[in-house]
Amino acid sequence: MPVIRILQILSDINRDSGTTTLVVNWHKNIDRGKIQFDYLYCSQSKDLNFEEEIKKLGGRVYKLPYPSLLKPWIFIKALIVFFKNHKYKILHSHITQLNFFYFPVARFYGTKNIIVHSHSTIYSSNPYKSFINRIMFYCSKKFINYKMAISKKAGDFLFGKKSDYIVMHNGIDTNVFSFDEQERDTKRSELQIKDKFVIGHVGRFAKEKNHLFMIDILKEIGKYNKNAVLILSGNGYLEKHIRHKAEELFLNDKILFTGVTADIQSLYQAMDVFLFPSLNEGFGLALIEAQCAGLPCFISDSIPAESNITNTTVIPLSHAPAKWAEIIVKETLDFKRKNESDAIKQRGFHITDIAKQIQNFYLDTEEKC
């Protein structure tokens, strides 16, 4: 049987993208003698991305020009040329806004099965973009064969509560993220934070991640513990704004901006607390990683229930930063950290289990083509 090539459509292939990280994790753990992934995207890719890793796995990476309102035909022409020259029976889209363009062209050139995967609970944090994306997705719905979501909340949002969709959770390599005392000491020494109370967050600098609120929480925690610092791992369009707020509150020396790093597991080891006050989340891959690392996690009430496994405290977004700080300090006072990888495995979030599920789904779908 020849290898089945699946086209994964993503917004980017950057390492700070939870969606791309998920797909690459699938790629690492599927039987690549049966299934291979190719990647198609059109946004600007950062220096630290997955391209070389994807190629080593046997995947191919294709980039289209980013759509322009002034010259949309450039993108459309490139899209037509791509599908004319690259034939795929199965297309798996992890975006919503451009499916209106991708799907009819792919179908015309022979794609039999189109899968749409919901990863979020909003179309966009920008009201205008949200309205446009909603319309574009609605117009693309007739081409969809299979609906998939990373959580019930994400599925209900995009497809509707009465819709028939498959929940395919995010997964991680629990062996990589399990608590390691030696790695913790090494990383804290490297970052020069051995004597600090380290609050951490991993995620792109975007409105929905609520970084400005995190800085306010840090300020309040500083009233209890002068050694409190905040690690922010990621980058994005709001980084300058976030740095500016840190300067305004005289917290520059209390915040470590690590950028996007390939050894994210070491950062989790160095932390004492994981902070996740998102305004909205489809699932929260970083939260699963942090729980696996044995961290006490303080999360907003917008996080899907499936992500809440162990050592998590849910705090309403309506609570002020001072209240968040009070709860964090109280809950961590006598906290004893331990390896929680078994708890993550038992809930079905180990990547090998998830990869097997998606592999079987692709094989079944191929038989129906």
Angstrom distance (rounded) from CA 31 to CA 355: 9
What would the DSSP string read from start to end of 57-120? TT-EEEEPPPP-SS-HHHHHHHHHHHHHH---SEEEE--STTHHHHHHHHHHTT--EEEEEE--
Residue 24 has pLDDT above 80, yes or no: yes
Three-state DSSP at 41 gives: strand
Cβ count within 10 A of residue 243? 17
> What number is the average pLDDT over the span 305-331?
95
Q: Of 67-81, 210-224, 269-283, which gets the smallest average pLDDT?
A: 67-81
| CA atoms of 128 and 124, how far apart (whole Å) | 8
pLDDT confidence of residue 369: 66
Total-model pTM: 0.87
Q: Is the pLDDT of residue 47 over 70?
A: no
Q: Which value, to the nearest 10 degrees, does the dihedral of the CA atoms of residues 288, 211, 159, 128 take?
A: -160
Hey, what long-range contacts does 245-252 have (CB within 8 A, 24 or more apart)? 245/212, 245/215, 246/215, 249/215, 249/216, 249/219, 251/215, 251/218, 251/219, 251/222
Contact at 8 Å (CB) between 320 and 329? no
End-to-end Cα, the chain, rounded Å: 14
Measured distance CA(247)–CA(257) in Å, rounded: 13
Q: How confident is the model at residue 39 (pLDDT cuts 50, 70, 90)?
A: very high
pLDDT for residue 138 is more than 90: no
Residues in contact with 115: Cβ distance below 8 Å, sequence separation at least 6, in sequence order: 90, 91, 92, 93, 144, 145, 146, 147, 148, 365
Give the model's confidence band at 250: pLDDT under 50 very low, under 70 low, under 90 confident, else very high.
Answer: very high
Q: What is the mean pLDDT of residues 344-359?
A: 93
Rg over CA atoms, the chain: 21
Query: Is residue 276 within 8 Å of 211, Cβ to Cβ?
Result: no
- CA separation for the pair 151, 305 (Å, rounded): 9
**Over the stretch 113-129, which tens digit does the pLDDT of each residue have?**
999 999 988 887 788 78
Averaged over 344-363, what is the pLDDT? 94
Looking at per-residue pLDDT, the higher value among 283 and 176 belongs to 176
Query: How far is residue 275's CA from residue 329's CA, in Å, rounded to a whole number?
Result: 12
H or E element, residue 266: helix 264-270
Helix (H) or strand (E) holding 8: strand 4-9
Q: Burial, 183: exposed, middle or buried (Cβ in 10 Å; 0-12, 13-18, 19+)? A: middle
Q: What is the dihedral of CA 76, 60, 154, 175, to 10 degrees?
A: -160
Cβ within 8 Å of residue 244, ≥6 positions away? none
Q: How far apart are CA 146 and CA 354, in angstroms?
A: 18
Is pLDDT at 45 greater than 70 in this prediction?
no
Which domains are assigned to the chain?
4-171+350-368 (3.40.50.2000), 174-346 (3.40.50.2000)
